[in-house]
Chains A and B, each alone.
Chain A
Amino acid sequence: MPVVRTGEIQVWRRREPAKQLAIWFAWLCGVALFMFCWSIISEKTTWFFVFDAPRIAGDIGSRMFPPRWSYIDQLWLPLWDTINIATLGTMFSIVMAVPVAFLAARNTTPSTRFVRPLALLIIVSSRSINSLIWALLLVSIVGPGLFAGVIAISLRSIGFVAKLLYEAIEEIDEDQVEAIAATGASRAQIIAYGIVPQIMPAFAGITVFRWDINIRESTVLGLVGAGGIGLQLQGSLNILAWPQVTLILIAILFSVVASEVVSAKVRKAII
């Protein structure tokens, strides 16, 4: 008990003394571990390069300005490709993620023993592999280009969309489902009337959010040959054309800002 009686007064402390001591000891261990790791990192670092870093960064920075604005003519198409990869990838992922979400949600899955673990496995495997790695794999399977990018984005997004959607399905108000079931509705009708209207805002929010993320992810897919503006970035880096790199970064920044604006608007409209 944190309350200790000393004579007349009852002294209250937040924790018991032993517990307080244990917490201090845990902090001590944590700090010691941090110092130990720091010393290892310090030994393995070539400090010359680190101290030199500001100069190099300044050097590259000076070469990057001014951006080569005329290069923009060659960027419109890759930018358009990037947006298409993100949009098509999101659409395909939704088509695949919605059934997975219904199979994974505890209250809609046909079987918690067999189907649900399978659906969760799909979600986990999709989420655990980065879209850049999916793209690397797919470039060697379906060849370089937009198609590999679209598939990579959609495979990566299935897990994200399905996970958030199945959580939304599990959080619905069961009373409404019960009421629809009580009218004699079939299973499909219960889903269409009792569940779908309830998850619609979440679904729209998740979709737009994922599309927004996919715009950012698809800008780098070109680095591994899966189409989009990343291809130009790779090319410009390889030939050390820094002014072009600057312009590409600006273009990416603007497309991401635009996608954020759109998704914020859409989400606001839904809720």
Chain B
Amino acid sequence: MSRSYALPFLTLSDDVVGFDQWLIGDPGDPLFPISMQLEAWDYARDLQLDARLDLDFEAAVKALGMPDGENLKLAIVVNIGTGSGRFARRMQSAFKKVIEAPIEEPLIISLPVDSCNLSGRLLVRLEILLAEDIATDNPLTPRIAGSRLWSDTSNVHLEDGGDARFPMEVLSFKQAFQGQRQVDSPWYLHMRPGSPEADFTGSVRLYVNADHEIFAERVSKGDPVTLQTMLGDVMIQMCRSALEDEEARDTLNDCEEGSVGSQITGWLELAFPNMSIEDIHGLMTATPSAFHASLLSTADMGDTE
């Protein structure tokens, strides 16, 4: 426990409280130690937080200078916060348990976290508080319910799918595109051709057809071949669209980072190293199958497991 100010009463040291760290991860999967960053998070990825807390109750009674005959009651509380900034923008109580006698086994705290309510960060504050008022003459003994006796705070930055991830959404095409040509397609790339300067995540979105259940499941699980096929097609569509448009082709190299043009340029450099835009355009026109296969090869992301 570390604070930038001194509390005006006796508190509990780490010797009295046995706590190592929170474990975090996906519900039902093995959890891993919490760290400062959680990758690949989004609103749909609910989380699980687990911790073990041990408490030497007799030592706590002594440490707080409890008067004889007064029963000590301690509250174990967990508050979860979210929102960027120095302080969390929203704090909510997630766990509360009052302990009034020595515990025989460590307390297991297991908290499901609903990710749709998170934003940018996950702050987890575990505290031990005085649960009820105490009557005492000892000026150093905490007396008022809620007095903060021990705390541990974990602060996790949530990587929320900004620049690093492809804008993708799984939905039912029968509902979303009823009566349209793409209704039975396994995926559909929504983009506006001829706007290489547009922000990539704002103007491009890949829809995966939830009605193709097996395919959608493969995408969700990150099946390498499925992803390679789908993303390869996306790369082909976007690169072709830019190369076929003379005006867009001329502006590709001037596009800012994060734009559609900059993403296309990156793919072209990977697939056709040391070739100019004009040469790639020539290859696409003369041998379209080689052009397509080169981009499909570039979409190989290896085994994601």
A binds B: no
Interface residues of B (CB under 8 A from A): none
Interface residues of A (CB under 8 A from B): none
